Structure 1
Amino acid sequence: MENVLPPSSTAERVQLRSALRVLPAYKPGRFPAVSDVVQYKLSSNENPYPPLPSVRETVEKSAAGINVYPDMACAAITEAVAKRWDVPAGSVSFGAGSVEVASQIIRAVAGEGDEVIFAWRSFEAYPMLTALAGATAVHVPLTTDERHDLPAMSAAVTHRTRLIFVCTPNNPTGTSVTAGELHTFMESIPQDVLVVIDEAYVHFNVDPSAAHGIDFFRTYPNVVVLHTFSKAYGLAGLRIGYAIAPDYISAALRAVAIPFGVSALAQTAALASLNAEDEIKARITTLVAEREKLHSGLVRIGWDVVASDGNFLWLRTGEATHELEEIFTNAGVIVRAYPGDGIRISIGTVEANAKALEAAKNAFSRFTATTQRTGER
């Protein structure tokens, strides 16, 4: 936790919200430092490929109109997404990335005295967004195999629960929830509790048993599905994501959204990306193959790493995390470290992944020596 409020003093100050005293700080993926060594940024789950030529061309043409406000209703991309998923346009709402849409959901549903449940460790923004809304975050530990403990999450529901996030595939562990597990879970949840199925990484999930949020949206009245154009579509820098929700929920999200929050460039790029899905799928296939290759390499080294359904892999490194992060950094591989928990390695280019595997071999030797010395294993 990071205290963002200044220390008290006798001088009069504008009073800030007390929630800021315990506001969790969001830590973005680290950028490479200036160095003579070639560095690979594998810390932010970004798509390593540049925009498709057709998408880039469309955005460049659209740039001539950035002197005017974007369409606040996001009409064209709303229609396209509604058609893509065969849902009413009134069930689709947008924000500056799915994290901003998640913020809209929390602000629309939860406030002081309410509770928001999510697995932990999961997406780092959940507790931050919950605290900003004045609600209470309820962290439910993952299982020993890094998966959502859905029975424990169901048991955590109280009369104060307003919202539950299910991140599948889960960031940062990469594990996903099966359709059967999620149906059992949904049947145990009161219908006045909203369940958000966060599918930021769903495009990389090729597990046939995995839950698909859209099926649950069609089946249960209290489900919202979150998608983003940041990951598979490679538009992280433009910030656009959306929710598929019951129409009255979507109306509430639009009511709390920042006016003109989704730029015209983002809307144009998203629409062009939907029109180029065959090319996008080819890139996804390549990234999934690279993920499997890196996973196999890590296992051969000796790492106990769970299979991932996202575009990243998770190393449970515990108290050795900081020390091992330095090994990756010194090798020119920038990873995402979660102090005391583990290291997430995003899937990059073939060259980047090979470099990450080389660094992981050195890190494993240090990890083994450290854990044997401390008795952690």
Structure 2
Amino acid sequence: MSAYAPAMADIPQIKLALNETPFGPSPAAIAAIQADLAGLARYTGREVDDLTAAIAAREGIAAGQIVLGENLNVLGLYLSAQGGAGGTFVYSEPGYTALVDAVAPAGGRVIGVPLNAALENDLPAIAAAVDGTTRAVYLVNPHNPSGTVSDAALFVEAVHDLSSRTLVIVDEAYLEFVPDFAARTVTPLLREGANVAVFRTFSKIYGLAGLAIGYTLAPTLLAAALKQMGVGAFFGLSRLSLAAAIASLADGTYVDTVRAKVAAEREAWHALLRARPPLQRLAGQLRVLRLRPAACGRGGGARCPRHRYRPCAAGFRKLAAHFDRTARGECDRAAGRGRAAAGQLISQAIAAAGARSSIIATASRNTSMPASGLTPRSARWRRKARAPGTA
């Protein structure tokens, strides 16, 4: 009898929930790593200052407002500890939880606000959840896992207004995949002195996930407090990650190339969905598929109470193309036949996409939003509602 071996053990596996780029890092980043290998006997030194200076020049932010590292967990711990027992943190649910996961152990309380009908950050509902106990609002744009990108002008207005009431932390990990980045980033608010922190990472479009390097742009006092705790200090960062990040920032052409490649794969996905009427695509940074009721054999619009963010076969079944943990699994209210039909359709779509293209997770629609003026402000975002599937 032969030893047991998994049936797919010899097939390369990709964990789509991690949203890793298939294109890898910039050749300049690889060259920088190779050039620095001989220096591994030395501790990190001036590289911290070099990367900080490069980020400051790119962002138009003072070096004292830049904290290096993947800092979301640490930021959550710090803010919760400083806020004391009873402090609350508001975020969109389901969502990326790196920051809020660190809140409860330090005595904070998390308030999850469901996404709106368009699977976007529900900005009016988030504003309504903010009160005197709120220590911070955490927003991810483009959102993860839904992949939707909030309206540029309305999002900036909302962050501006919320920042007058509490700290607003905006995770822009995927924003560089969007062609109109400058119109959507909230960094200009920080430059104006707003109570806003912006998180960025080199793990996504720069292809450096294995080096775990990123940075936070924050108000001066918050950045100084984090640095006092040793966050972003040279002893917590590797020479190779810093060298690769510096080289990546300098190679803007490569980022443009990756963005264009992902856009091409996105269009291939759109063509696939158009060829299969039961599948409805949603505008977003990553693909979300919906099965219309006719496809799963059940009518009605009721949502499953056990899976409040994943409509069951009685309404719509939402499946994320990158199979994020928040969107996978089966709803036990779905009819067996409907579930089988849904699974077959999705399997066919995934197989067809794989045959055509190297990526399943694709980038944002090539929409062009006008840059929002930073003054004067309006409250349009409080009333704005967008229908599912709109840009």
TM-score, L = length of structure 2: 0.69
In 2, are the aligned partners of 1:230 and 1:241 still within 8 Å (CA)?
yes
What does residue range 226-375 of structure 1 map to in structure 2 within 5 Å?
A: 226-258=199-231, 260-301=235-276, 302-309=278-285, 312-315=286-289, 318=311, 335-338=323-326, 339=328, 354=357
Q: Name the counterpart of 1:147.
A: 120
Structure 1 residue 215, shift from structure 2 partner: 2.0
What does residue range 1-377 of structure 1 map to in structure 2 within 5 Å?
A: 35-37=9-11, 39-71=13-45, 74-95=48-69, 97=70, 99-100=72-73, 102-103=75-76, 106=79, 110-189=83-162, 191=164, 193-207=166-180, 211-258=184-231, 260-301=235-276, 302-309=278-285, 312-315=286-289, 318=311, 335-338=323-326, 339=328, 354=357
Spell out, residue by residue over 1:154-204, the C-alpha distance to the aligned partner (whole angstroms, 9 max, x if none): 000111101011110001111122232124424543635100111000111
Structure 1 residue 83, shift from structure 2 partner: 0.5
In 1, are the aligned partners of 2:196 and 2:218 still within 8 Å (CA)?
yes
Percent identical: 32
Structure 1 residue 38, shift from structure 2 partner: 5.3
Distance 2:205 2:172 in 1: 11
Spell out, residue by residue over 1:74-94, the C-alpha distance to the aligned partner (whole angstroms, 9 max, x if none): 211000000111221111111
Distance 1:352 1:198 in 2: 33
Number of residue-to-residue matches in the alignment: 311
- 5+ residue gaps, structure 1, are 1-31, 358-377
Spell out, residue by residue over 1:81-135, the C-alpha distance to the aligned partner (whole angstroms, 9 max, x if none): 001112211111111x254564466457544211111111111323312223321
- 5+ residue gaps, structure 2, are 1-5, 291-309, 332-342, 344-349, 361-391
Spell out, residue by residue over 1:279-319, the C-alpha distance to the aligned partner (whole angstroms, 9 max, x if none): 2211121112212321442354222331113xx32346655
* SS at 1:180 equivalent: helix
Structure 1 residue 226, shift from structure 2 partner: 0.9
* SS at 1:43 equivalent: helix
Q: Name the counterpart of 1:27.
A: none
- The 10-residue stretch of structure 1 (255-264 or 104-113) with the greater mean CA deviation from structure 2: 104-113
Q: Name the counterpart of 1:372.
A: none
In 2, are the aligned partners of 1:233 and 1:273 still within 8 Å (CA)?
yes
Amino acid at match of 1:204: F
In 1, are the aligned partners of 2:47 and 2:239 still within 8 Å (CA)?
no
* SS at 1:93 equivalent: strand
Q: Over aligned residues, Cα RMSD in angstroms?
A: 3.5
In 2, are the aligned partners of 1:72 and 1:262 still within 8 Å (CA)?
no
Distance 1:297 1:190 in 2: 41
Distance 2:355 2:84 in 1: 43
In 2, are the aligned partners of 1:94 and 1:101 still within 8 Å (CA)?
no
Structure 1 residue 217, shift from structure 2 partner: 1.7
Distance 1:293 1:334 in 2: 16
* SS at 2:200 equivalent: strand
Distance 2:182 2:58 in 1: 22
Distance 1:146 1:76 in 2: 39
In 1, are the aligned partners of 2:172 and 2:198 still within 8 Å (CA)?
yes
Distance 2:21 2:228 in 1: 31
Distance 2:248 2:217 in 1: 18
Distance 1:216 1:179 in 2: 13
Spell out, residue by residue over 1:34-66, the C-alpha distance to the aligned partner (whole angstroms, 9 max, x if none): 524454442311111233322112112212222
In 2, are the aligned partners of 1:40 and 1:334 still within 8 Å (CA)?
no
Amino acid at match of 1:248: L
Distance 2:269 2:323 in 1: 14
- The 10-residue stretch of structure 1 (290-299 or 33-42) with the greater mean CA deviation from structure 2: 33-42
In 2, are the aligned partners of 1:201 and 1:231 still within 8 Å (CA)?
yes
